[in-house]
Chains A and B, each alone.
Chain A
Amino acid sequence: MTVHEWLSDLRTSALVGTARRDAPPPPPVPGLRPRVQHAGREERLLELAALGDVLVRAGRRPAHQDAPLPTAPEETVPAAGDRASQLLTLLLLQPPMGKALRDELVVEWLTRAAQHPVHVPSPLLVPLLDLAAARPEVARALFPAAGERGRWLTGLNPAWAGLASATGSPPRDEELAAAWTTLPIREATEELGRLRAHDPAAARDLLSQTWDSLAARERRAHLGVLRVGLGPADEPLLELGLDDSAKSVRDEAASLLDLVPSSARATRMAARLRPLITRHGTLRRSLRVEVPDEPDPMAIRDGLAPPPRSGEPDRLGWLRTIVRGAPLTVWTELADGPPERAVAQLRDEPGVLQLIRQVVLLRRDATWAAALLEVEHDDALVTLLPPAEREQRILTAIETGTATEKLARLHAAVSGLPRPWGDVFAHRVLALLAGNDGGKAVHQLAPLLPSALPPGVLPAARAAIERLEPGDRRRDVLARVVQYHSFRHTLTEAFR
Chain B
Amino acid sequence: MAPVKRWTEEQVVAAAPDASSLTAARRLANPGPWADLGANDVLVWGRCQGSGKTPYQVSVDVLAPAYRCSCPSRKFPCKHALALLMLWSRGPDVVPEGEAADHAKEWAAQRAERTAQQQSRTLERAARPIDPEAQARRLAERVALMDDGLADFRLWLTDVVRAGLAAARNQPYSWWDTTAARLVDAQLPGLADQVRTMGSTVHSRSDWADHLLAGLGRWWLVTCAWRARETLDPDTEADLRVALGWSQPSAAVRERESIAGPWRVLGAHRTDDGRLQQQRTWLRGTAGPAEAEMLQVLDFAAYGEALATPQLPGTVVDADLARYPGRSPRRATFVSDVHPVAENPKLPSGTTITSAVAAAAAALAGSPWRDRHPAVLADVRVDADGWAVRDADGAVLGLVDDAPVWHALAVTGGAPADVFGEIEDGRFRPLTVALGGQVLAL
A152 within 8 A of B: yes
Binds B, one of A43-51, A186-194, A301-309: A43-51
Among A54, A62, A95, A149, contact of B413 (Cβ-Cβ < 8 Å): A149
Report the separation of the CA atoms of residues A40 and B396 in the bound assembly, to the nearest whole angstrom. Answer: 42
Report the separation of the CA atoms of residues A464 and B13 in the bound assembly, to the nearest whole angstrom. Answer: 33
Report the separation of the CA atoms of residues A66 and B395 in the bound assembly, to the nearest whole angstrom. Answer: 9
Report A57-93 CB contacts with B as 1/0, cut-off 8 Å: 1111111111001111000000000000000011001
Report the separation of the CA atoms of residues A300 and B78 in the bound assembly, to the nearest whole angstrom. Answer: 73
Report the separation of the CA atoms of residues A125 and B209 in the bound assembly, to the nearest whole angstrom. Answer: 41
Judge whether A60 and B209 touch: CB under 8 Å: no
Binds A, one of B27-35, B129-137, B191-199: B27-35
A460 within 8 A of B: no
CB contact under 8 A between A52 and B361, given known A63-B396, A93-B10, A480-B32: no
| Residues of chain A lying within 8 A (CB to CB) of residue B215 | 53
Report the separation of the CA atoms of residues A269 and B164 in the bound assembly, to the nearest whole angstrom. Answer: 89
Binds B, one of A15-23, A171-179, A198-206, A210-218: A15-23
B217 within 8 A of A: yes
| Residues of chain A lying within 8 A (CB to CB) of residue B53 | 471
B162 within 8 A of A: yes
Judge whether A89 and B9 touch: CB under 8 Å: yes
Q: How large is the interface on A (under 10, 10 to 19, 20 to 34, 35 or more residues)?
A: 35 or more
Some 18 contacts from A to B, beta carbons below 8 A apart, are: A7-B210, A14-B161, A16-B166, A17-B162, A46-B157, A49-B220, A50-B224, A53-B368, A56-B210, A58-B362, A58-B364, A58-B365, A62-B396, A65-B386, A65-B390, A89-B9, A90-B90, A470-B49
B44 within 8 A of A: no
Judge whether B426 and A95 touch: CB under 8 Å: no
Judge whether B213 and A62 touch: CB under 8 Å: no
Judge whether B413 and A90 touch: CB under 8 Å: no
Report the separation of the CA atoms of residues A126 and B10 in the bound assembly, to the nearest whole angstrom. Answer: 15
A153 within 8 A of B: yes
| Residues of chain B lying within 8 A (CB to CB) of residue A475 | 32
| Residues of chain A lying within 8 A (CB to CB) of residue B31 | 479, 482-483
A476 within 8 A of B: yes
Judge whether B209 and A49 touch: CB under 8 Å: no
Chain B, Cβ-Cβ closest to A465 = B32
Instruction: List the 10 closest pairs (A to B, CB-CB), nearest first.
Output: A17-B164, A479-B32, A49-B217, A72-B413, A50-B217, A42-B158, A53-B214, A46-B220, A62-B395, A125-B410
A401 within 8 A of B: no
B357 within 8 A of A: yes
B407 within 8 A of A: yes
Report the separation of the CA atoms of residues A475 and B32 in the bound assembly, to the nearest whole angstrom. Answer: 7
Judge whether A60 and B361 touch: CB under 8 Å: yes
| Residues of chain A lying within 8 A (CB to CB) of residue B30 | 96-97, 479-480, 483
Chain B, Cβ-Cβ closest to A149 = B413
Report the separation of the CA atoms of residues A156 and B166 in the bound assembly, to the nearest whole angstrom. Answer: 41
Judge whether B161 and A18 touch: CB under 8 Å: yes
CB contact under 8 A between A10 and B365, given known A42-B162, A62-B397, A157-B384: no
Report the separation of the CA atoms of residues A62 and B165 in the bound assembly, to the nearest whole angstrom. Answer: 29
Q: How far is the CB of B104 from chain A (nearest CB, A)?
A: 21
Query: Could you say which of B32, B90, B388, B396 has the most chain A C-beta atoms within 10 Å of its C-beta?
Result: B32
Judge whether B32 and A476 touch: CB under 8 Å: yes
Judge whether B86 and A64 touch: CB under 8 Å: no
CB contact under 8 A between A52 and B217, given known A93-B10, A96-B30, A471-B53: yes
* Further contacts, 18 of them, CB under 8 A, given A42-B159, A52-B213, A156-B384: A14-B209, A15-B164, A18-B162, A42-B158, A45-B161, A46-B216, A53-B213, A56-B210, A62-B397, A65-B396, A72-B415, A122-B410, A122-B411, A125-B410, A126-B410, A471-B53, A480-B30, A480-B32
